[in-house]
Amino acid sequence: MFSLTGKHAVVTGAGSGIGKAVAILLAKQGATVYVADINEDQANETVREIGSKVTALIADLSDQQQTNKIFASLPKLDILVNSAGVSHIGTAESTEEADMDRLYKVNIKGVYNCLHAAIPLLKNNGGGVIINMCSIAATIGIPDRFAYSMTKGAVYSMTLSVAKDYLKDKIRCNCISPARVHTPFVDGFLKKNYPGKEQEMFEKLSKTQPIGRMAKPEEIAALILYLCSDEASFITGTDYPIDGGFIKLNN
């Protein structure tokens, strides 16, 4: 089950965190993987860890010309995982225009650029799968996540639109909505904002999930693998929360 042998997959933001875990797992299941990331050193490290049937694609995905160029270099495409993204903490008052522009460029325009470049390749291939990285912040209110929540709401809407528009082309499009995931971003955030209290704050954030901990990137990757596989061929236009009970049980 869940074999991806013969499939070609682009994973954005695969230089670290969830994207890296996804790239490693898809390759393990037989896919030829393209690691798309703006950070060349991190992308190459992912390539080294995977070892074979993997290529780094270095680009700023918020730039449409660069995005088109890397997708035009692909021999074929079966799977696109839009995992690249950035975060921001702030309310509508404290969020500056520059913050809003940065979040829009990466989290919305970057996803659009990849969709715009990938969908013609998937159509030419006779169909395929798109997975977008959404968030529980798209559908529930989370304090101090104004701009980030806005971008993930857009990702959710784009997912539904693409799923509807390309049914006839046999392109399935879904998104997943994690709660907190323990990635290098979390460690960096705690080190920057809570020096000397990293462990205390890590435990506090972990316990906001009813299950009592943050997710591991590999757990998120496992859900993405399922949605990319032929076993999920009846699923499209759906958001999958993977949140340790956050949405339904956090009363």
Active site residues: 148
Distances (CA, A) of 242 to 14, 89, 177, 239: 19, 21, 6, 10
Name the phi and psi angles at 165, rounded to 5.
-70, -25
Distance CA 56, CA 9 (A): 12
Pairing of strands 8-12, 79-82: parallel
Pairing of strands 32-37, 239-242: unpaired
If one counts every other C-beta atom within 10 angstroms of the C-beta of residue 83, the result is 28
